[in-house]
Chain A
Amino acid sequence: MRQLSTKATCNSHGQDSSYFLGWQEYEKNPYDEVRNPKGIIQMGLAENQLSFDLLESWLTENPDAAGFKRGGESIFRELALFQDYHGLPDFKKALVEFMAETRGNKVSFNPNHLVLTAGATSANETLMFCLAEAGEAFLLPTPYYPGFDRDLKWRTGVEIVPIHCTSSNDFQITESALEEAYQEAHKRNLRVKGVLVTNPSNPLGTTMSRSELNLLINFITAKNIHLISDEIYSGTVFRSPGFVSVMEVLKDRNCDNTQVWNRVHIVYSLSKDLGLPGFRVGAIYSNDEMVVAAATKMSSFGLVSSQTQYLLSALLSDKKFTKNYLSENQKRLEQRHKMLVRGLRKAGISCLESNAGLFCWVDMRHLLRSNTFDAEMDLWKKIVYAVGLNISPGHSCHCAEPGWFRVCFANMSEKTLNLAMQRLKAFVVDSTAKLNNHHSSKNSKRKSSPKWVFRLLSRDCHRDRESDER
């Protein structure tokens, strides 16, 4: 008899994807300025490490939150016992106010409609359990965060059908792409329950335009399906156009308390905006009471530690702090973004124009030996091994076109970023020369494209250190 479940033995966990394999390579040979200066620089990690000093100084000024105290009195017992899945009221209040703040206070949120979860990973999975049966589908615009394959599909049995977006219009969602995806689902006999978008986008780093948002609302209204807006990067928008949340557009359209109002749900987290992925703070916001009720009960499987709720409730209630943090953090992100873009340009590489996120969507199509995903893989292997940069290949994000890569910029020091850019430039110069030689060579018999056999994956290595990374 098959000993384990099907879920345990299949690979719907998605971790055989190249996205995660690059990390294994990084783990084996990580860059360190002193101890391993030739190691691989991690640029596949969408972390925000730029503003810890702001958090640290808040902590030193606020000892109570640190020491399980309120007004100098110990509340340890209260916190240690607090496992109410409704969450700490003060924390939810502070969190919805923070969410409103990152939306320029153009929308407000009701804390009773917020469900706390163990990270956005858990939030997304929970929403699938609430909105779809196994075998039903959600439409997702490509390229999308590779982790969705696990988060949305693995244990839920829900399918993802891609909405293909292309570089021809900067990967924006079009009406025809939506319809095509819907029809595709139909062809595959999959009932579509909704659309899930990430706004600001991972991996594109762009915010959705109002017209895209309106398009989506029209579409889900017509099809009578859900819209999930994963807005975990909303606080990372560092340049205009500013962030427009789907809630704002709904409000502008006077959709409050209509049917469609109840079918739009937001996923949030503090992992990107505050740079606290370790604390596992995620949230679902829904106007539908049934969804809130069901998701709340499901959150039992992944509540936020009360210790963490308490700390963050104090942090986020300090409005002076949050205002300063958001603006300072955005400045630093912008500056770092500029650095990356400049560095890439010096290497003759452009990227999609972006105004948010912790990464750039980089165009390396001109470095491919052919317009294929095989060639993309080859290029990626070179970048990981020869150049020593772990970046994420577009294929792992289900991009429809080969040659695009996600490159992170907020998880390392400036010095390291500069070094990465130098390495890249050297590589480009070198490989451009080689490419020219190759083209001009008379014996340009093409080698057959090597099958992508990723020997990097040492299966006997038990320490697959894949983290929850976006």
Chain B
Amino acid sequence: MGFMNSNEQELLSKMATGNGHGENSSYFEGWKAFDNDPFHPTKNPQGVIQMGLAENQLCFNLIEEWILNNPQASICTPEGVNEFRDIAIFQDYHGLPEFRNAVANFMEKTRGNRVRFDPDRIVMSGGATGAQEMIAFSLADPGEAFLVPTPYYPGFDRDLRWRTGVQLLPVVCESSNNFKVTREALEAAYERAEMENIRVKGLLITNPSNPLGTILDRQTLIELVSFINEKSIHLICDEIYAATVFSQPGFVSISEILEEEKEMACNLDLIHIVYSLSKDMGFPGFRVGIVYSYNDAVVQCCRKMSSFGLVSSQTQHLIASMLSDDAFVDRFISESAERLESRYKFLTCPLAQVGIDCLKSNAGLFVWMDLRHLLKNKTFEAEMELWQVIINEVKLNVSPGASFHCSEPGWFRVCFANMDDSTMGVALNRIQTFVHKNKDVRNPIKRKHWNSNLRLSLKSKRVDDIMMGQSMRSPHSPIPQSPLVRART
């Protein structure tokens, strides 16, 4: 791209010319490797298998079947075209009532009907990406901060900070207690902020967790509510993986805690839920994001802001129809959970047999894999080296823990729901082969030189910003080319 002259630099905003978009993070680097050499069972069987993409591809056949059987759900089919006009015109930022009702219904079902959701509190947004940004704009001013437990989804750095000017401060969680969020860690983070004169406006949690794949237990949730209530700060609960819980313990939503723990007298104005259909249903392309807030003023504000990212009325109509089909929804939720569990076991059992453990999890579209024993030393540099080996030799794109701001090196997020069984089989074979090959080597994996024209840049200023003690030096100096990196989750 070359250098801009200072003239041009002034013509655009700092936002446009800076790195706030976060796409220089290592999280995205592995994808370039995949993009350059993507696996295909017949056309490129030696290619890189994509295991960095948290997509849910396991239940499309169920949905396709439903669509075939429900042509009226589309406004374009002969059965549905009589509604075309009204839908095409509909841009009311309240959203189609039937859409909101159907989403509320779905949210209730994924929480075992243990709570009610008020459709009037449902606000649309441009995917969960848009929802997170909208919540940040509504709750915090530039310079103010949200606390967020590590490890966390890298996209938050962009979604909550880039255009809003809000900061994210880590609440460090450690493997010693399976990365649970503790009161001590919360208090430590809060105090740190106070010392640095940063005003904390809220706490952002993802439940079920990305990248851990675990759910927050009831006790932890109660602790969190007590913490935010005491400090009078907001609690943003990103529950976009709610329906991906595939085994016990079951999912407990923040909404249930509010319902059950009334004696806590939690200030409901502090509680907000972010939701989406991208993970639970596998529809990231349809951009269905939701903000659900117990705070009237936040609902009002977000509703107005949703103008910047409304859900296409065509999509609202489809979703309204699909999610109000109770029989279909019930079947989908249970079938999806079964397939996720089966895929989870398919991946984790053979891995355990070759000495690779994952954090015990029961949700999400990925596992949090423990490769600490394969590190040359306990550094993030070593993690990077191992990662390069995994990408270039094992030919799997997985996501290194550093990109999730993990406090300990050696953890990797590995997705399992975005491919078919046979590809998963290939991936497993490769891992097993790799482990066997290096079994006798007492020393952990050394980075081998490879002849590659993959220009992996390992600069990750964002990680440094946050908390990493180790600096991450790039073994390769070239600045990557103008990245046309696709938006990924």
The interface of chain A, by Cβ under 8 A from chain B, is: 1, 3-9, 13, 15, 47, 49, 52, 55-56, 59-60, 63, 65-68, 74, 76-77, 79-86, 118-119, 121-122, 125, 129-133, 150-151, 154-155, 193, 224-226, 263, 271, 275-280, 288-291, 293-295, 297-298, 300-308, 311, 462-469
Contacts and interface: CB of A to CB of B under 8 A. Distances in A.
Nearest to B130: A301
Contacts of B1: 289-290
Contacts of A1: 199, 232
B314 A8 contact: no
Interface string B436-461: 00000000000000000000000000
A121 B482 CA distance: 28
A81 B282 contact: yes
A225 B87 CA distance: 40
Contacts of A118: 126, 287, 308-310
Interface stretch (B179-187, B296-304, B343-351): B296-304
A462 B120 CA distance: 10
Contact of A302 (B130, B201, B313): B130
Contacts of B93: 466-468
Given A1-B232, A66-B81, A80-B63, 8 more contacts: A66-B74, A76-B63, A86-B486, A119-B307, A150-B304, A193-B11, A275-B88, A307-B314
Nearest to A297: B21
Interface residues of B, number: 88
Interface centre among A9, A118, A133, A300 (most CB of B within 10 A): A300
A3 B269 contact: yes
Interface in B281-295: 282-287, 295
B25 to A, nearest CB: 13
Interface of B: 1, 4, 7-8, 11-17, 21, 23, 55, 57, 60, 63-64, 67, 71, 74, 76-78, 80-81, 84-85, 87-94, 120, 126-127, 129-130, 133, 137-141, 144, 158-159, 162-163, 199, 201, 232, 234, 269-270, 278, 282-287, 295-298, 300-301, 304-305, 307-315, 318, 482, 484, 486-487, 489
Given A122-B309, A155-B305, A278-B89, A131 B285 contact: no
A187 to B, nearest CB: 21
Contacts of A303: 126-127, 287, 487
Given A155-B163, A307-B314, A278 B90 contact: yes
A311 B310 contact: no
A151 B352 CA distance: 53
B415 to A, nearest CB: 13
B91 A468 contact: yes
Given A226-B11, A303-B287, A278 B91 contact: yes
Contact of B12 (A74, A121, A130, A469): A130
Contacts of A151: 307-308
Contacts of A56: 81, 84-85
Contacts of B232: 1, 3
Contacts of B282: 80-81
Contacts of A119: 91, 307, 310
B81 A59 contact: yes
B76 A311 contact: yes
B84 A304 contact: no
Contacts of A277: 88-91
Contacts of B129: 300-301
A155 B309 CA distance: 13
Contacts of A306: 285-287
